[in-house]
Amino acid sequence: MDLFEYQGKQFLAGYGIAVPSGEAVTTVDAAVAAADGLGYPVVVKAQVLVGGRGKAGGIKLASDAAQCRAHASRILGMDIKGHTVATVWVERATDIAEEYYASFTLDRSAKMHLGLLSARGGVDIETVAADEPEALVRLHIDPVDGLSESATRAWVARAGLNPAAVEGTVEILGKLYRAYCEGDADLVEINPLVLSTAGAVRALDAKVTLDANSMFRHPGYERYDATQVRDEREAAAHERGLQYVGLDGSVGIVANGAGLAMSTVDIVSQVGGAPANFLDIGGGADATVMAGALEVINDDPAVRSIFINIFGGITKGEEVANGIVEALGRVVIEAPIVIRLDGTNAEAGRAILAPHLGERLVVEPTMLDAARRAVALAGAGSS
């Protein structure tokens, strides 16, 4: 789950990290009221989950109420790379002396946590990584040992920050690592981490991605899940517990397992079709899940045929078949369905489907045959 900047700052503040005081608002009047309360100058920042907000004009400094009103009215509703700005974060402006970069994430190759620290913050850190790799100082952290203060000090020393920033940075990095681990984050990134002219170190931006698998021990994360940006189809799929990514084609796809679903998208493309979506019903999906998946795909007007590709391990063939039959009884499925069903209890599943087979519901023996049939049906349906 990707957090908006304001949520990220609130998340970091919860672990004692200094962030500028501010308020998240959704109207121009509320933005001005927030700024009046905070005191000028303020920064008005568009809240979207995409980089390059500044260049797009989504971050503006306001030195009085009139400027704040003008900026907020321009930024609210603005489109930034396809994301509409619904919320702005109004915060007290900070006088910046220096800008740094700090993050923690998992290094999947090393199978350890990786801290990245740079004295060159505030800019595109990927450019720094490419042009001046020595300016990005890495620290691998064994999850069992954690991050000690002495290791943090040595790391900060290697990064060559302004001596005035060292104590504050050591303190923030300790808290940031705690937030990363205890908060079950996939990523915590502060860019820029600033040294203010007054000598304080604080987080001026926050990019936080939380692990959705950890929600069982973080019930409060429901509120972040509720603000995830999803298109209509994705939202409908998410409500049903399905992994769905909308694509632009006409062949609706339902598969079990991310690998098989990806492979199904590949094979539909390879035989000349255009997938309408990626949809993984997951392991052990039952009839209700399958029926829900078909409903989500059925609601996509671009879909001309549906390819259900199931290889049962933990998912059982008769459950899949029952789900298809249940969905057919519950809603009118517009597009013809091509099914490929193998694995656990596949024969029982095919037996359940047998009486329902016809022009609108066909079974093919292999993934490749089924892909070709689904693509042919999609073509026939659109002409």
Site for another protein (CB under 8 A): how many residues?
63
Which one, 199 or 313, has the nearer CB to another protein?
Answer: 313
Q: Is 348 in the site for another protein (CB under 8 A)?
A: no
Query: Are β-strands 96-107 and 185-196 bridged in parallel, bridged antiparallel, or unpaired?
Result: antiparallel
- The answer to whether 216 contacts another protein (rule: CB under 8 A) is yes
Binding mask 354-383 for another protein (x = CB under 8 A): ------------xxx---------------
Specify the residue, 94 or 103, whose C-beta has the smaller distance to another protein: 103
Does the active-site annotation cover 15? no
Is 40 part of the annotated catalytic residue set? Answer: no
Site for another protein in 112-141 (CB under 8 A): 112-114, 116, 124-126, 129, 136
The answer to whether residue 82 forms part of the interface with another protein (CB under 8 A) is no
Alpha helices in the chain (DSSP H): 5-13, 28-38, 65-75, 125-131, 149-159, 163-182, 222-226, 232-239, 258-270, 287-298, 317-330, 346-353, 367-382
What type of residue sits at position 7? Q
Whether the CB-CB separation of 306 and 335 falls below 8 Å is answered with yes
CB of 103 to another protein, least distance (A): 4
**Dihedral sign of CA atoms 322, 327, 330, 334 in order:** negative
Q: Binding another protein by CB under 8 A: which of 67, 87, 169, 191?
A: 191
- Candidates 83, 86, 96, 107; binder of another protein (CB under 8 A) is 107
- Residues 136, 103: Cα–Cα separation, whole Å: 11
Find out whether 107 and 186 touch, Cβ atoms under 8 Å.
Answer: no
Q: Which is nearer to another protein, 160 or 284 (CB)?
A: 284
Q: Is 286 in the site for another protein (CB under 8 A)?
A: no
DSSP-derived secondary structure for 216-266: GG-GGGHHHHHT----HHHHHHHHTT-EEEE-SSSEEEEESSHHHHHHHHH
CB of 247 to another protein, least distance (A): 7
> For another protein, which residue of 23, 36, 186, 299 counts as binding (CB under 8 A)?
186
Nearest approach, Cβ of residue 259 and another protein (Å): 2
User: Rounded to an integer, what distance in angstroms lies between the CA atom of residue 203 and that of residue 286?
Assistant: 46
Residues 144-183 within binding reach of another protein (CB under 8 A): 144, 181
Distance of CA 81 to the CA centre of its chain: 16
Token couple for 272: 């000349």
Neighbours of 21 (CB within 10 A): 13
Query: Considering the rule CB under 8 A, would residue 312 count as an interface residue with another protein?
Result: yes
Contact, 298 vs 344, CB < 8 A?
no
Closer residue to another protein in complex, CB, 103/298: 103
Binding region for another protein (CB under 8 A): 2, 103-109, 111-114, 116, 124-126, 129, 136, 142-144, 181, 184, 186-187, 189, 191, 207, 209, 211, 213-214, 216-217, 245, 247, 255-260, 262-263, 265-267, 269-270, 275, 278, 283-284, 311-314, 342-344, 366-368
Give catalytic residues, as residue numbers: 101, 189
